[in-house]
Amino acid sequence: MHKFNYRSPRYVVDLPVQLILDGLVIDARCREISREGMQLEVSQSLPANFEGLALLEWRGSRLELRVRVAHTGSPQDAMRFLFESEKERSAIAALVARLASRSGEPGLVPVR
């Protein structure tokens, strides 16, 4: 019997993200997000398996999480969240739930 590995639901969003990778600060846009990671639009492809910090901000919620590049492909790259605590895991789950509850709103606009 084949075991299926289901991914968390992903939601289309438009959120500002700052990546800090090896001392470089890269501005990006989060185009999809889930409890496990996010898909980013970046101006240049990121190095595969690179780790750093991602700063996400939306309507008063500001999260700083460790991330690893999971997939590269211009113009979008995928990042996997590297949770260091259950508190971080809960924080991203709460953000995704807030975004999901508003996914029907036209023009979901992030607040910086």
Give the CATH number for residue 53: 2.40.10.220
Looking at the structure of the chain, the number of domains it has is: 1
- 108 in any annotated domain: no
Give the chain's length.
Answer: 112
- 58 in any annotated domain: yes
Half-sphere exposure of 86 (CA within 13 A, CB side): 0
Mean pLDDT of 2-30: 82
- Return the pLDDT at 109: 37
Residue 110 has pLDDT above 80, yes or no: no
| Structural domain that includes position 92 | 11-101
- 3 in any annotated domain: no
The secondary structure of the chain as a DSSP string is -PPP-PPPP-EEEEEEEEEEETTEEEEEEEEEE-SSEEEEE-SSPPPTT-EEEEEEEETTEEEEEEEEEEE--TTEEEEEE--SSHHHHHHHHHHHHHHHHTTTSTT-----
- Return the pLDDT at 111: 33
- Return the pLDDT at 106: 40
pLDDT tens readout for residues 62-82:
899 999 998 887 667 899 999
Q: How far is CA 100 from CA 2, 31, 46, 56, 108, in A?
A: 30, 13, 27, 16, 11
pLDDT tens readout for residues 91-108:
999 998 888 887 555 434
- Return the pLDDT at 73: 78
Predicted TM-score (pTM) of this structure: 0.80
- 1 in any annotated domain: no
Q: Is the dihedral of CA 102, 38, 28, 23 positive or negative?
A: positive
